[in-house]
Amino acid sequence: MFKAKKWSGLILILSLTLVFASCSKNEETSSNGDQLTKNDKLVVATSGTLYPTSYHSDETNELTGFEVEVVREMAKRLELDVEFVEMGVDGMLTSINSGTVDLAANDMDITDEREEKFQFTIPYKHSYGSAIVRADDLSGIKTLEDLKGKKAAGASTTVYMEIARKYGAEEVIYDNVTNDQYLRDVGIGRTDVILNDFYLQSLAIAAFPDLGVIIHPDLFYFPNAQAMIMKKDNKELLEKINPVIQEMLDDGTISELSKQFFSGADVSQKPDIDFE
């Protein structure tokens, strides 16, 4: 799935020799057996419903977003075609392991547990956790300990649902629905809280201001970093991608994309917040 664009004649031979170390055309493998390419494209899992990191434009209905555009620019610099496959978060890790996709780019938190089973690129987004609650009573939540018995909305395999479980919340699982559905259900009391990334939640609230929900003013936790995630043994893919992401960080490309999609905020920088 990870393969350079087609070239003709001698250029094709030289390109494949230099870049992919004499791999075969039909199914390329590295010297240690890692599969590099298939179907002449980089296949990337993303949700298409997570504003502003991966969503469909209201004007064009085209897939866009912060991480979608980071992937597109990365693939352009690597001279790769890219195909996005939209799915829920719970299916992304399974799809990586099965080889259905090469990697996932969807605000994937880097955690010790995930690093045991997968590998991440270098991080290009830094954030922290927040809580969306009802505006009138903060859903009866003052601290994370108050999550016990509350209905927490989300996907089952996210870091934030793990936090909700840890504090005794009741899970309400959604399968790749849009932000307005999550927010509306909190507002009407079907659920009580959404734990998720601060930047994502702030923009979701701004996009749907009339649903009776807010970001909890005092509940910030879990400083974290996000990156693309891929199969543990695909070292060759990681070695191709990481230098390009670093280049995009160094030349300001990721910073500019961040400001474009996060209302001027630069998520490529670590937040200056005391989480003690």
Within the chain, all domains assigned CATH 3.40.190.10 are found at 9-124+227-261, 128-223
Stated length of the chain: 276
Q: What's the confidence (pLDDT) of residue 19?
A: 38
* Residue 132 and residue 213 in contact, taking contact as beta carbons nearer than 8 Å: yes
pLDDT by 10s per residue, the chain, length 276: 444 433 334 333 334 333 333 333 333 433 333 445 455 699 999 999 998 999 999 999 999 999 999 999 999 999 999 999 999 988 999 999 999 999 999 999 999 999 999 999 999 999 999 999 999 999 999 999 999 999 999 988 889 999 999 999 999 998 878 889 999 999 999 999 999 999 999 999 998 999 999 999 999 999 999 999 999 999 999 999 999 999 999 999 999 999 999 999 999 999 887 774
Q: What's the confidence (pLDDT) of residue 235?
A: 94
What is the fold, at CATH topology level, of the domain defined by 128-223?
A: D-Maltodextrin-Binding Protein; domain 2 (3.40.190)
pTM for the whole structure: 0.74
Cβ neighbours of residue 269 under 8 Å, at least 6 residues apart?
Answer: 126, 255
Q: What's the confidence (pLDDT) of residue 38?
A: 56
Kindly report the number of other CB atoms within 10 A of residue 40's CB atom: 15
Q: What's the confidence (pLDDT) of residue 40?
A: 67
- Residue 70 phi, psi dihedral angles, 5° rounding: -60, -45
Nearest alpha carbon to residue 36 among 78, 67, 69: 78
Q: What's the confidence (pLDDT) of residue 105?
A: 98
Q: What DSSP line would sit under 156-182, residue for residue? A: TTSHHHHHHHHTTPEEEE-SS--HHHH
What is the fold, at CATH topology level, of the domain defined by 9-124+227-261?
A: D-Maltodextrin-Binding Protein; domain 2 (3.40.190)
